[in-house]
């Protein structure tokens, strides 16, 4: 029990429990104060107990971040990059596959590009805990044991991730961690894992949990924090997988370093635009140490075209989602690797100075703020340590010219001009003065730009304000009417 929750009330309860109840009644049985003892004391007691109950109830409905997390032991300041087994393999995993994946991460230069985690998803364990109550790795799939595997992963210079669930079972009905949080966190740490993805299936009955999703994740967050304090090791990175339920983006930062914002991704354009649309409304929630998780990448999978895969990757990266590769690496094409390792996009994703996401400044096809799963917002911008980032997304099924005025973005200064760097063609595209047009953006394609301040714009441009609203000369002449 954490300080600040029920336990703190124990000292208040104890005196009443020990003395207050029995002592005055017995002592006063034959005294003049008998009446007072019978009527007033119980009433007072009832009020006090009522108050305590209220406080207790009040307190348990609060969810606090683990108190053992301090500025010194925080992990995953930047969104995690790595591999996750689910999209490519589902339950069809074993130690050879994980090891081969880890080796490919190195030989395909993915590790050099920043992909440092190899994360095992659902289906790695036996269906039942062992006699001691511990989760055990599947003896056929992982005959060498998890510790041997994580040692090998670490020897490659990579980190290792594991998976569990905040309910009775995982989504594929392997053991979950509910009521075993401390035991399982320790197991995962002893196995050598650095990271835990924590799912949201097999929810126990309400009369057992007396909790909501937040409370079930708080249990594991506390276990991880306590274990870190006890072991002196960094806490497991907690990747919360509650699919956007209960608006995780409003509270999950207390407990973990990322939280899923949406349902499971599929390898098609409809799924990409749907996730993008939903996430466009809470980009503000992402910053250092806590990230909206838009789900495992589908780059290299299904019917996604080259342009669509680029758009998908660009959006996930610039919105600072964890980037977890989810494709079959032995057969990954050059195009797939090229997309996944674009150094200029990754530099923004891993910016150590600016942790925030890009956000829409104009929706485009739709009026601003319209939610549309087929046509999400098209014009986005955000800060980076090296300049202002722009993402233009053509959600149409045909090529389109995409035009914007620079000052539509809040990160652009009026009266300045900007050099334009294209983060996909890796070329300088001249100097933008007031406006920019990307010509013939392919269907479902993306343009990603980095604009850097290049000094004052040329003298004498007309009108005197790029943003005309209430534009006025010093002598009071208005220019917007
Ligand atoms: C889902 C989760 C997926 C995957 C799967 C495993 O709930 O969103 O990413 O982990 O469970 O069963």
pLDDT of the residue at 404 = 98
Residue 439 belongs to domain with CATH number = 2.60.40.1180
In the three-class reduction of DSSP (H, G, I as helix; E, B as strand; rest coil), residue 223 is classed as helix
Residues with CB under 6 A from ligand 1: 86, 121-122, 170-172, 199, 201, 241, 243, 264
On the question of pLDDT at 48 being above 70, the answer is no
Rounded Cα gap, residues 355 and 441, in angstroms = 28
In a domain, 477, yes or no: no
Residue 322 and residue 400 in one domain: no
Average pLDDT over residues 231-248: 97
Beta strand 379-384 with 359-362 is: antiparallel
Q: How confident is the model at residue 34 (pLDDT cuts 50, 70, 90)?
A: very low
Instruction: Summarize the confidence of residues 286-305 as an average pLDDT.
Output: 97
Residue nearest ligand 1's atom 8 by CA: 264
**Model confidence at 360, in pLDDT bands (50, 70, 90)?**
very high
Question: For residue 464, what pLDDT is reported?
Answer: 96
Does residue 368 register a pLDDT over 70? yes
Question: Do 332 and 448 share a domain, yes or no?
Answer: no
Q: Is 266 a catalytic residue?
A: no
**Mean pLDDT over all residues of the chain?**
90
Give the domain-ending residue among 355, 384, 408. 355
Is residue 233 domain-shared with residue 263, that is, in the same domain? yes
Task: Report yes or no: 245 and 196 within 8 Å, Cβ to Cβ.
Answer: no
For residue 295, which atom of ligand 1 is closest to its CA? 9
Residue 50 φ/ψ, nearest 5 degrees: -60, -45
Residue 22 pLDDT:
29
Question: Would you say residue 135 lies in a domain?
Answer: yes
Q: Note whether 214 and 344 are same-domain residues.
A: yes
For residue 212, what pLDDT is reported? 96
pLDDT for 132 beyond 50:
yes
Confidence of residue 290 (pLDDT cuts 50, 70, 90): very high
Of the given ranges (68-82, 195-209, 367-381), which has the lowest mean pLDDT?
A: 68-82
What pLDDT does 13 receive? 27
319 and 285 within one domain: yes
Query: Which residue's CA is minimally distant from atom 12 of ligand 1?
Result: 171
Nearest CA to ligand 1 atom 4: 86
Active-site position among 190, 264, 266, 422 = 264
Mean pLDDT in residue range 266-281: 98
Q: What percent of the chain has pLDDT over 90?
A: 85
DSSP string spanning 427-472? EEEEEE-SEEEEEEEPTT-EEEEEEEEEEEPPTT-SSS-SS-TT-B
Q: Are residues 413 and 370 in the same domain?
A: yes
Residue 63: its pLDDT value, please?
80
Tell me: do 261 and 394 sit in the same domain: no
Selecting among 121, 122, 194, 199, the annotated active-site residue is: 199
Tell me, yes or no, if 264 is annotated catalytic.
yes
pLDDT level of residue 61 (50, 70, 90 thresholds): low
Whether residues 156 and 214 share a domain: the answer is yes
pLDDT tens readout for residues 161-207: 999 999 999 999 999 999 999 999 999 999 999 999 999 999 999 99
How remote is the CA of residue 131 from the centroid of ligand 1, in Å?
27
Question: What's the CATH code of the domain at 156?
Answer: 3.20.20.70
Distances from the Cα of 416 to the Cα of 58, 180, 247, 288, angstroms: 54, 58, 39, 30
Q: Are residues 350 and 408 in the same domain?
A: no
Please state which of the ranges 28-32, 273-277, 304-308, 471-475 shows the lowest mean pLDDT.
28-32
Same domain, 139 and 201: yes
The answer to whether residue 24 scores a pLDDT higher than 60 is no
Structural domain contains residue 244: yes
Sorting pLDDT into bands at 50, 70 and 90, what band is 74?
very high
Quote the pTM value.
0.88
Would the pLDDT of 89 be above 80? yes
Domain that holds residue 292: 81-355
Residue 17 is given by DSSP the state: I
Domain count, the chain: 2
What is the structure's pLDDT at 270?
98
At 60 the pLDDT is 55
**Whether residues 103 and 138 fall in one domain:** yes
**Integer Cα distance of 447 and 74 in angstroms:** 34
Local confidence band at 136 (pLDDT 50, 70, 90 cut-offs):
very high
- The residue among 355, 376, 393 that closes a domain is 355
Helix axes 306-318, 269-279, angle to 10 degrees: 20
> How confident is the model at residue 51, as a pLDDT?
45
**Percent of the chain, pLDDT > 70?**
87
Categorize the per-residue pLDDT at 43 as very low, low, confident or very high, splitting at 50, 70 and 90: low
Whether 162 and 281 map to the same domain: the answer is: yes
Tell me if 51 is assigned to some domain: no
Mean pLDDT along residues 252-277: 98
Residue 44: predicted pLDDT = 54
**Domain end residue (candidates: 320, 355, 390):** 355
């Amino acid at each position: 029990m954490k300080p600040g929750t029920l336990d703190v009330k124990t000292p208040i309860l104890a005196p009443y429990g020990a003395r207050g109840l029995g002592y005055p009644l017995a002592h006063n049985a034959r005294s003049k104060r008998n009446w007072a003892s019978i009527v007033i004391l119980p009433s007072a007691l009832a009020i006090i107990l009522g108050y305590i109950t209220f406080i207790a109830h009040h307190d348990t409905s609060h969810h606090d971040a683990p108190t053992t997390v301090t500025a010194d032991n925080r992990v995953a300041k930047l969104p995690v990059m790595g591999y996750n087994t689910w999209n490519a393999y589902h339950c069809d995993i074993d130690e050879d596959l994980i090891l081969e994946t880890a080796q490919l991460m190195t030989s395909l230069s993915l590790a050099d590009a920043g992909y440092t985690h190899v994360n095992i998803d659902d289906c790695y364990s036996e269906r039942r805990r062992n006699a001691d109550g511990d989760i055990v790795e599947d003896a056929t799939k992982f005959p060498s044991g998890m510790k041997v595997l994580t040692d090998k992963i670490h020897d490659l210079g990579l980190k290792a991730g594991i998976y569990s669930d905040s309910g009775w079972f995982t989504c594929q009905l392997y053991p979950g961690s509910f009521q075993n949080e401390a035991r399982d966190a320790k197991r995962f740490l002893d196995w050598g894992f650095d990271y835990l993805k924590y799912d949201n299936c097999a929810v126990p009955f309400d009369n057992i949990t007396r909790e909501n999703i937040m409370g079930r994740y708080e249990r594991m967050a506390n276990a991880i924090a306590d274990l870190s304090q006890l072991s002196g090791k960094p806490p497991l990175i907690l990747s919360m997988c509650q699919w956007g339920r209960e608006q995780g983006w409003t509270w999950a930062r207390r407990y973990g370093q990322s939280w899923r914002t949406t349902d499971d991704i599929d390898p098609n354009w409809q799924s990409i635009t749907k996730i993008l649309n939903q996430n466009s409304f809470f980009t503000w929630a992402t910053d250092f140490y806590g990230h909206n998780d838009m789900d495992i990448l589908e780059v290299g999978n299904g019917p996604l075209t080259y342009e669509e895969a680029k758009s998908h990757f660009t959006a996930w990266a610039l919105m600072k989602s964890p980037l977890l590769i989810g494709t079959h690496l032995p057969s990954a094409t050059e195009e797939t690797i090229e997309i996944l390792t674009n150094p200029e996009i990754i530099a923004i994703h891993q910016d150590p100075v600016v942790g925030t996401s890009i956000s829409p400044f104009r929706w485009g096809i739709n009026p601003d703020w319209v939610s549309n799963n087929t046509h999400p917002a098209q014009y986005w911008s955000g800060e980076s340590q090296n300049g202002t980032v722009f993402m233009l997304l053509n959600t149409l099924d045909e090529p389109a010219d995409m035009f914007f005025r620079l000052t539509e973005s809040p990160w652009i200064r009026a009266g300045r001009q900007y050099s334009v760097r294209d983060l996909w063609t890796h070329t300088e595209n001249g100097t933008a003065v007031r406006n920019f047009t990307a010509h013939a953006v392919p269907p479902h394609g993306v343009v990603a730009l980095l604009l850097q301040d290049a000094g004052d714009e040329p003298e004498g441009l007309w009108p005197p304000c790029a943003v005309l609203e209430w534009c006025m000369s010093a002598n009071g002449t208005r220019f917007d009417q």
